[in-house]
Structure 1
């Protein structure tokens, strides 16, 4: 066992359940943030096994992509060693996705800044979606859980078993009042991503600073995360133009400006409601 493996194994997973045992929750910390896994109608061993698998995958992603680790493929690339594009399929996939994101957002989302590669704005959502697909979707298909949700840092992928009428309710924090909700997303299967300045300050390169928070709903968390970041970078008007042709039928966005006004963007009639 390597030192990195021992560190992952030592990362505690805290589990608890509602009094009736219907909803079970596991929390673990990675990438300086808590990640939360929720399973409905699942037993505790299933929860712990799924949480450990998700934690291990996310830890591997952190070791591979973190620009704050000298031994990561990202740090090596920034020192001129881009062999990871040939040697590591995940590194290659994220690089390709980041390049595509820069293209479809007309440069408002970009992983290359001042000659340095930093895919963190995309990779967290990508990793959560991958963990969900690999470890949680099979639980739903096998009847070991009725519903599953995995989230961290404002990003969440959700799903329910076939035939279930359960719908997740995801609260959207008000950036002007952390004790209040700006809205709620009701979604059975899909993704919710939130980006903004209330938690991390001005960490996104912007061409317009009229928005303080953007929440995007869609089918895939990787895409929703990218569009939420793009909204903050581009501003309300430009963002609306960029997503006018968005093909995801679930796509919708709740934008909150500096004055606290809320703006809903929903290109399709069947878009997931945000209220």
Structure 2
């Protein structure tokens, strides 16, 4: 028994050490990015390299907002994120409808929604672009945000979660005279907080990192998002690695903070949505 206990502790120690080593290896590029963003341009290319800046400076971040219009890109990105959250509400309503309403063709329509998950986004970009172009919405903020309002995966997760809500509870609310919108906002949404939390995090990450579609639909730099603005650094300031690191850090750090604070909700949300 004692030998078995020692073996178990040894295995745990080895696993912990491997995890620590792996964490350090994965963290080094991130630490290097953050550190380099505070270095003068000359120090980034110094030999031997320094992990931490000898002469810390905020000049790189100041240049992002004064010379690279990153404040405008930030505003556009926040607009995309806000409308993505509006789309999240619509997806929740769709999931609730598929879960709790009986209507003709419900299952067929739901399977059609699931089928769209199997189509790569790159395949639908040209048809969506042509559709928006015929509506005069290319090179507009509306053209950027509209395609992201409906997400099949989000509808699927909401539907899976809301099937677990007792139908008797909803029927009781209807018998008490509650309207459908009142039931959804005052009864269903509080119960569905876990799935709203995980979908909110994923929606924020997707909106914050939006790159390909804004790049395709927008010809005017005043409509670019942070990701597109970051790609411009490679062309306009290809040799200024400190400025590129500052732009990358500005993009990545909010995502890391959000994910670190709410990562437990992602696991709980997937678990409670019935994904096996």
Specify if TM > 0.5.
no
TM-score, normalising length from structure 1? 0.25
More helix by share: 2
More strand by share: 1
